[in-house]
Amino acid sequence: MKKQLLLGLMLVASIPAFGDVQVLLDCDSNNQTTQGMYSCTWRDLVVAERDLQKIVDQRNSQRPERKAALDARIVHWKKARDKNCKKIAHHDWAGGSEEPVAAMICRAADTQDMVKTMKKDHTVVPCKNSVRVCHDG
């Protein structure tokens, strides 16, 4: 309960500067402005990151001796994910106004994919410095 309240406060406190709570509530509507798409995609990333953290916390509680290693892998994976998504977005949008949205969409999708993969196979962990997955040994 405390974690959910804290996450909710963090979500509201970190709304993108040009974002608006109403925009976040209307993500399922026809929200086609760059601002709206960025805000909604940002929300999707926050939710995916929260889901990933839940899995990491669960694994860390099951195998506390592996906590430091898993936490480090997550940090490295996120850096690789962000670098890869930035590269893809730049290639596809070449500095256009949609480039940050494309990068955010990529980050959210990659995080959602990692969540699904880690839920399905409890031995999977992010590889170091890669967006791939490895098996925990």
- 100 found inside a domain: yes
**Structural domain for 67, as ranges:** 20-135
CATH of the domain at 109: 1.20.1270.180
pTM assigned to the model = 0.77
- pLDDT for 102 equals 94
- 47 found inside a domain: yes
Taking the C-alpha atoms of residue 59 and residue 118, their distance in angstroms, rounded to an integer, is 10
| Nearby residues of 46 by Cβ (< 8 Å), 6 or more positions away | 11, 14
Taking the C-alpha atoms of residue 48 and residue 53, their distance in angstroms, rounded to an integer, is 9
Question: How many structural domains does the chain have?
Answer: 1
Q: What is the mean pLDDT of the chain?
A: 81
Point out the least confidently predicted range of 37-46, 51-60, 70-79: 37-46
- pLDDT for 135 equals 76
- pLDDT for 18 equals 42
- pLDDT for 130 equals 72
- 1 found inside a domain: no
- 8 found inside a domain: no
Do 133 and 117 meet the contact criterion of CB atoms below 8 Å apart? Answer: yes
- pLDDT for 49 equals 96
- pLDDT for 127 equals 77
- 49 found inside a domain: yes
- 55 found inside a domain: yes
Q: What is the pLDDT of residues 114-126, one digit of tens each?
A: 999 999 988 878 8
Residue 12 has pLDDT above 60, yes or no: no
Taking the C-alpha atoms of residue 118 and residue 34, their distance in angstroms, rounded to an integer, is 32
- pLDDT for 30 equals 63
- 38 found inside a domain: yes
- pLDDT for 2 equals 47
- 12 found inside a domain: no
